[in-house]
């Protein structure tokens, strides 16, 4: 055999093996064509881990990857960017209600879930929750509701005891049928425990009172900015300032490291807690504080703060599979599981009435019957319309309140500044 023939042989063998390899590759890809990885983008805690596993088990070939961003404030701009650039949004995105209205203005960025069999599902959601993510003519639904931010009030039992206040959750709830009574209780608390804040930051109390004060806040239903003409906003502001002046605030900004540590260290005694916040409190306060935090009814008549939707962006390459996953996660069963995992309160009436939810007691919070507490709050709910720049304006009002807390601005100056900032932002 000459050198030349040997080379030729070698070349053929190599070529052959190459073909074989590529054939193999093709084969692998073929068998993996059912292997779809769905990327789910969330913020904070959705409590879906077990649901993912269950879904993967019952849907062979589907893999789910959740990509989570801790703070909603960090998540929002990213989400906007992904959608605008048409890249990076994955297959399922979580949308918080405060930013939903700006996405409703561009419904083309999302898959119409009515085309994926969502038509028959409307009975599975509270009517206003369903309405929020539907276009005005009802021809398009861009998202299905996950949870509603049913309101409760979380409090530290040990601090209440030290201040000579009742600690039983029924009795504590009776301390504050209204926010005025809450203020009074706060004054009593501060008289005994001057070093501890009665609540974390005025911004959070403000927001909760605001969500109880009517059917709209900074915008009216036509998306006109009404921050300075809507007296409900100004009244809420005044009430908040009263609390600042009574010295109730610990002056700790929500979502800051000090805030996280505050749950553990007991630097504040109460915090208005939407259902989704219970997961955060448990995580931050840690196992050593189990039983110290408890939850009771919120002053005023129920309220909603926050709550989210799941949507499928049109940029997803697996829209059908993603829509199926969304339907699964937002089903009564999925919502019940998320509630059990992280106390995200269901927006599905069936899930709310489910004994699993109604009878659910949270062991971390002294076996508080959170299903019942939040269920009552939800029944009293009136949906609030939030306009396009709602969250951004909220940030600015929050900063103005903080400036009052820090003693840097007089309340009237701060209010004028908040209104001015909001107007400049919305123009």
Residues of this chain that bind another protein (CB under 8 A) = 71-74, 77, 80-81, 84, 106, 251-259, 261, 267, 392, 395, 398-400, 402-403, 405-409, 417, 425
- CB of residue 408 to another protein, shortest distance in Å: 6
> Which residue number, 80 or 366, has a Cβ lying nearer to another protein?
80
Would you state the torsion angle of the CA atoms of residues 66, 71, 73, 78, taken in this order, to the nearest 10 degrees?
-30
Pairwise CA distance, residues 239 & 381, whole Å: 21
CA of residue 184 relative to chain centroid, distance: 30
- CB of residue 77 to another protein, shortest distance in Å: 5
- CB of residue 200 to another protein, shortest distance in Å: 11
- CB of residue 126 to another protein, shortest distance in Å: 27
- CB of residue 78 to another protein, shortest distance in Å: 9
- CB of residue 271 to another protein, shortest distance in Å: 14
Instruction: Output the 3-class SS for 219-275.
Output: ECCCCCECCCCCHHHHHHHHHHHHHHHCCCECCCCCCCHHHHHHHHHCCEEEEEEEC
> Which residue number, 106 or 320, has a Cβ lying nearer to another protein?
106
- CB of residue 76 to another protein, shortest distance in Å: 8
Tokens read off for 200: 């974390």
| Among 46, 53, 48, 42, CA closest to 89 | 42
- CB of residue 107 to another protein, shortest distance in Å: 14
Pairwise CA distance, residues 79 & 318, whole Å: 18
> Which residue number, 79 or 337, has a Cβ lying nearer to another protein?
79
> Which residue number, 96 or 354, has a Cβ lying nearer to another protein?
96
- CB of residue 259 to another protein, shortest distance in Å: 8
> Which residue number, 176 or 259, has a Cβ lying nearer to another protein?
259
Place of tokens 């070093």: 195
| DSSP 3-state percent helix, strand, coil across the chain (nearest 5) | 55, 15, 30
> Which residue number, 116 or 264, has a Cβ lying nearer to another protein?
264
Reported as type and span, the H/E element at residue 171 is: helix 169-175
- CB of residue 84 to another protein, shortest distance in Å: 4
Q: What is the DSSP letter of 362?
A: B
CA of residue 231 relative to chain centroid, distance: 27
> Which residue number, 183 or 392, has a Cβ lying nearer to another protein?
392
Pairwise CA distance, residues 185 & 177, whole Å: 11
> Which residue number, 74 or 171, has a Cβ lying nearer to another protein?
74
Instruction: Output the 3-class SS for 358-415.
Output: HCCCEHHHCCECHHHHHHHHHHCCCCCECCCCHHHHHHHHHHHHHHHHCCCCCHHHHH
> Could you give the 3-state DSSP secondary structure of residue 68?
strand
Instruction: Give whole-number Cα distances, 270 to 10, 160, 169, 363, 402, in Å.
Output: 79, 9, 12, 19, 18
Largest Cα span, the chain: 104
Tokens read off for 156: 């530290």
> Which residue number, 74 or 215, has a Cβ lying nearer to another protein?
74
> Which residue number, 314 or 350, has a Cβ lying nearer to another protein?
314
| Among 270, 249, 269, CA closest to 404 | 249
| Among 178, 210, 142, 196, CA closest to 398 | 210
């Amino acid at each position: 055999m000459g050198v030349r023939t040997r080379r030729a042989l070698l070349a053929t063998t190599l070529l052959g093996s190459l073909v074989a390899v590529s054939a193999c590759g093709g084969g692998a890809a073929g068998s993996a064509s059912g292997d779809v990885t769905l990327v789910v983008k969330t913020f904070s805690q959705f409590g879906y881990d077990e649901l993912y596993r269950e879904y993967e088990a019952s849907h062979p070939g589907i893999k789910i990857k959740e990509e989570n961003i801790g703070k909603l404030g960090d998540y929002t701009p990213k989400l906007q960017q992904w959608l605008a650039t048409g890249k990076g949004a994955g297959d399922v995105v979580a949308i918080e209600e405060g930013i939903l209205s700006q996405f409703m203005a561009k419904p083309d960025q999302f898959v119409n879930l009515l085309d994926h069999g969502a038509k028959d599902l409307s009975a599975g959601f509270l009517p206003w929750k369903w309405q929020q993510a539907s276009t005005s003519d009802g021809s398009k639904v861009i998202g299905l509701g996950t949870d509603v931010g049913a309101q409760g009030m979380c409090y530290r039992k040990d601090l209440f005891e030290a201040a000579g206040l009742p600690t039983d959750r029924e009795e504590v709830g009776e301390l504050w049928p209204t926010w005025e009574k809450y203020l009074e209780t706060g004054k009593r608390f501060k008289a005994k425990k001057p070093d501890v804040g009665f609540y974390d930051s005025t911004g959070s109390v403000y927001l909760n009172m605001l969500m109880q004060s009517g059917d709209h806040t900074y915008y009216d239903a036509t998306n006109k900015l009404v921050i300075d003409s809507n007296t409900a906003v100004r009244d809420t502001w005044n009430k908040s300032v009263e609390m600042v002046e009574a010295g109730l605030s610990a002056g700790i900004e929500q979502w800051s490291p000090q805030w996280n540590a505050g749950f553990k260290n007991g630097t504040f005694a109460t915090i208005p807690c939407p259902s989704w916040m219970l997961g955060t409190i448990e995580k931050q306060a840690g196992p050593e504080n189990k039983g110290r935090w408890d939850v009771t009814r919120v002053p005023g008549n129920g309220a909603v703060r926050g709550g989210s939707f799941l949507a499928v962006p049109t940029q997803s390459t697996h829209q059908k599979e993603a829509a199926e996953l969304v339907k699964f996660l937002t089903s009564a069963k999925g919502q019940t599981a998320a509630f059990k995992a992280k106390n995200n309160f269901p927006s599905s009436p069936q899930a709310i009435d489910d004994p699993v939810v109604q009878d659910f007691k949270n062991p971390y919070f002294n076996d508080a019957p959170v299903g019942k507490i939040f269920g009552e709050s939800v029944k009293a709910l009136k949906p609030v319309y939030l306009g396009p720049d709602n969250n951004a304006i909220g940030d600015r009002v929050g900063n103005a309140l903080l400036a009052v807390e820090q003693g840097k601005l007089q309340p009237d100056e701060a209010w004028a500044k908040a209104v001015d900032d909001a107007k400049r932002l919305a123009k």
